[in-house]
Structure 1
């Protein structure tokens, strides 16, 4: 009798949490809200899809699916747009493994690569936590040795993902805890709710394309702003697992005969200049060199835009994201750079 009682209690709690989780998401920080809402894009695979867009919040903020469709000369419903903030190569590889087999007419992938997804940094840990909290479990995350190492390196990781899958409140526990003890989080609640609504609208209308942190106004970085914690030295270190994951991505895309457009989207002037000082571009540049110096070169084309906005502070919302003005300017540059290349490659689409 007691066993039946406990089973029914756990089933009830699980159902209750799954049914009410959405009530609490507007109180979560931006990245968590985006990951939760991005699940609405899952399952929207179609035989029509010709171009897949993957990457992190630099793509979310700087490159829209409408722009990709215009550059490629295809319709908007032929573009599947799936970037996520704090994305890492493990997320890109997992999405590729899960999706490519369901997209029989896929011809091309757009993705961005930068020091943020080649080094070991706080975003690496954040991505793992976001996957455990909001990511859909896939057997590929277990069967692929690199993904298993990234997401489930020990029994605790597997147990934690299982607990969150059954009782999803645990996935947002850190967000909810801050509501109790963190005064700055409490003050930030009205803006969080606004951001949630803007992200939700962008998912419905623009596949998740959204100028990062924008809630109507166009946030603008000022040259006079001081960033005392800006130090890109950590980005200069190589994360060996990231390199392995990236190379596995390129091998998969090559095997599927997919063309890859690899973008280096610009950071703000202050960050780019600090990256030059700390030589944080070295690892990502090694990957660029690797994929253009062997068999990958037939399928991979690199467009490096790191140096295009070294004085244009007004084009950025913060250290790493373009604002609307910057997106507009970047769109024109992308069109000029990619138009001739993509026109020649999409004639066979």
Structure 2
């Protein structure tokens, strides 16, 4: 923008710029204060060239008006005459430069320099704004990190408290099991001795034999609980040929559940196997509500005997299945110390077998026990 009341001077300035400026040029001429202020508001220029003395207006007033609207707008005074003191005062007040009309060859370099400085200043300001924005963003992130760190520390503290409480609870449970097992061993040993004496004196009574068998199983269970409370594995497994069908049918009679089990000979410990299936059947009765909702099924498959303990209770949720055999784990339906399934798993594993839990069609849980068949029996049955 050129603030100039003389048409001739405007043409001279335009000619000086068009030849030497080295960039696209559009010059808007205004002649007075009103035109100048209107042009500033409606089409802000990149640079202002202004005569110093105009009718009713002056270059310094024009500079202050432009500076108020745009503080960084380059402003060069192009005048016919200016005393040194006046020139210094204009520069002191912030005018970018001044050029005498008698030396217009200096105008293009001065304009280029002023525009370059304005561009550099604009770039610097943008960079500073970006840096400030980045610093503000980093500050927010640091505050968020500190907040998350504080939250994590509080959560860790709560977890540590919960871990200590859990450890204390497990230690109390182990202590209780150990003390209870010790207390039960003495009366059970005495009871077993009385039953054996009564069985000898009665001459083979079936009722006394069954009572003696149950007492032996209870004694074994108490010993197992004591071992597991100490972190030891189930021991005292004596292997020999045993009719698995007889074991399952006996468990079925003891608990009043249906047992679909044909004769099947495997190598195992009949007492331990009885303990496994008695545990699974009693759990099934407890969670399903009665023996009529539990069934024992024996299936023969290539190389193995598969025993299914089927119940029609609430079932086992998928998220619990991986943990159900863990020591001291107790589900919502738990009524024990959480060691029965652990003992069952250890006994089955000692028989080179496997145990897992499946969903019963229609609702409920099915515990599946797979035990290996002797090689000669497997070859005979599935040849």
TM-score normalised by L of structure 2: 0.22
TM-score normalised by L of structure 1: 0.23
Higher RCO (CA 8 Å, separation ≥ 6 residues) = 1
